[in-house]
Amino acid sequence: MATACSASHVACAHRAAAARPRAAHKLSSISGHRSLLRRPQAQPEGKPQDDSISASVERLMQDPENAARLARVTEAAQRVAELQAESERLAAEMAAAAADQAASAEAAERRGAEAAAKLMAEAEVAAKAKLLQAAQLQAESAEAARRKWAGDIDEDAERLESAKAAAAAAIGGAAAALPLAFSEGTGTGAALLALATAGVASALLGVTYRYAVRQDAGNLQLKAGVVAAFGLVRGLGQASGILVAAPGSTDAVAGLDLSVASLGGAGLALGQCMLAAAFAATAVEAGFLQGLIKPFGAAGSTADDGSSS
């Protein structure tokens, strides 16, 4: 729009410039005639001269060429005035258009800044809401875990159930170690000591197994981990004692007796310990299934149920 207005303004200016010389020439001619008409009035000396002047004026005014010339001059003057007014109007419109364009650009920039600020604020609010939601979920999870494991526990009932688990595991471990203890031919005392050692280790396994498994009866990896830990610790201890070479042994390698008999005995001891741990855990599981032993955390609730009923 500004380009069209500028082109129109230039065209109008050219037309005005072209018309000004013609209008000036016409005006000077008319002025000359009018001066001729007015000049005799300054010398009112005689009536005949006044009559001749009046006659001359009448002849000039009645001349079609002069009348047409006067009309053209008047029309040219009007056209010049119109062109000047049009030029002023176009200049005013161009100034108004420039002002409107500047105001529109400023308003658009302001709207863009407001939209960007709004988006930033909304993003900050959304991020804070997400952080708050995550904190709430974490707090709820922690509270659920606390309620799961920090309920009211009857310590006396738990001690009784742990004693039952220790007894069942000791019986199972001793039963697994019994055939091997008396088959070694080391005497009754050594066999009883081996049984006692297996029983004590299995009793500790039973108590730990009950506390570790709790009420998560379907967690086979946890159960196998407890059994493997006890079996390997006890079995590797016995195997290392068997592999240590006796003083003065000629077959020792770096202080270890790596003969077939020693390696076989070490493997047998490790397998016996693993088997005893498995028997001990099986005995505790059997107590769980039969209801003779209650998992950790279930003894107090059962006692409360019985008292309420």
Give residue-wise pLDDT tens across range 154-208: 777 888 888 999 999 989 888 888 877 777 656 778 778 888 888 898 899 889 9
- Confidence at 306, pLDDT banded by 50, 70, 90: very low
The fraction of the chain above a pLDDT of 70, given in percent, is 71
The conformation of residue 42, written as its DSSP 8-state character, comes to G
Residue 131 has pLDDT above 70, yes or no: yes
Nearest one of 61, 60, 59, 39 to 50, comparing CA atoms: 39
State which H helix or E strand residue 294 sits in: none
More confident residue, 54 or 125: 125
Classified as helix, coil or strand, 263 is: helix
Given a contact cutoff of 8 angstroms between Cβ atoms, the answer to whether 198 and 174 are in contact is: yes
Task: Specify the pLDDT at position 20.
Answer: 52
Residues ≥6 apart with Cβ < 8 Å to 194 = 177, 180, 181
Task: Specify the pLDDT at position 110.
Answer: 87
Residue 287 has pLDDT above 80, yes or no: yes
Task: Specify the pLDDT at position 251.
Answer: 64
Given a contact cutoff of 8 angstroms between Cβ atoms, the answer to whether 299 and 160 are in contact is: yes
Task: Specify the pLDDT at position 2.
Answer: 44
Residues 18-34: pLDDT tens digits? Answer: 555 554 454 455 444 44
Task: Specify the pLDDT at position 167.
Answer: 92
Nearest one of 306, 302, 288 to 151, comparing CA atoms: 302
Residues 3-20: pLDDT tens digits? Answer: 444 445 445 445 545 555
Instruction: Give the chain's mean pLDDT.
Output: 75
At CA 134, angle to CA 130 and CA 140, rounded to 5? 145
Residues ≥6 apart with Cβ < 8 Å to 21 = none
Task: Specify the pLDDT at position 41.
Answer: 46
Q: Among the residues of the chain, which ranges form H helices? A: 2-38, 47-62, 64-149, 155-183, 188-213, 220-243, 260-290, 298-308
State which H helix or E strand residue 253 sits in: strand 252-253
Structure-token match 């119109």, residue found? 82
Least confident of 34-38, 183-187, 211-215, 241-245: 34-38
Given a contact cutoff of 8 angstroms between Cβ atoms, the answer to whether 170 and 282 are in contact is: no
Rounded average pLDDT over 268-277: 86
Task: Specify the pLDDT at position 43.
Answer: 47
Report the chain's C-alpha Rg in angstroms.
61
